[in-house]
């Protein structure tokens, strides 16, 4: 299995631009998570899905952030408009079963907003 695949690995954009981050979870995993990692705040859970349905989005920082999961093999995290404080590494993770708890992480998307 290829693992969780994220794209792009690096994104540099200017303030005000729209950013879309993409994630392909491991096939057969029912749960998908989006995390954000910064030096100041560490790893923060933004949102997670179960069977393509958003379950808890209480970690999404603002209305500028939105996440979708149109099917079991694809999810997007969109920031519109982007701001410099959104600069971070965004991780997608998937899990086969919440009872087991183990999360499988992608390599992350490093976002820099100038």
Provide the binding-site residues for another protein, judged by CB under 8 A: 4, 33, 35, 42-43, 45, 48, 55-56, 58, 91, 93, 98, 100-108
Residue pair 111/36 in contact (Cβ under 8 Å)? The answer is: no
Give CA separation, 49 vs 24, 29, 42, 98, in Å.
13, 11, 21, 11
Token reading at 63: 């209305």
Least distance from another protein to the Cβ atom of residue 91, Å:
6
If the CB atoms of residues 57 and 81 are measured against another protein, the closer one turns out to be: 57
**Residue 53 and residue 31: Cα distance in Å, rounded?**
9
Give least dist CB 103 to another protein, A.
6
Shortest Cβ 106–another protein spacing (Å): 5
Between 31 and 65, name the residue whose CB sits nearer to another protein.
31
Looking at beta carbons only, is 81 or 110 nearer to another protein?
110
Please give the angle made by the CA atoms of 113, 7 and 80, to the nearest 5 degrees. 40
């Amino acid at each position: 299995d290829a693992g969780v695949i994220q794209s792009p690995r690096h994104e540099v954009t200017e303030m005000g631009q729209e950013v879309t981050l993409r994630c392909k979870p491991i096939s057969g995993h029912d749960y998908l998570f989006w995390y954000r990692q910064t030096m100041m705040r560490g790893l923060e859970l933004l949102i997670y899905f179960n069977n393509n349905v958003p379950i808890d989005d209480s970690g999404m920082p603002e209305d500028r952030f939105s996440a979708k999961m149109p099917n079991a093999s694809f999810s997007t995290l969109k920031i519109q408009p982007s701001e410099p404080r959104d600069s971070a590494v965004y991780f997608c993770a998937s899990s086969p079963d919440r009872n087991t708890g183990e999360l499988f992480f992608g390599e992350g998307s490093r976002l820099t907003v100038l």
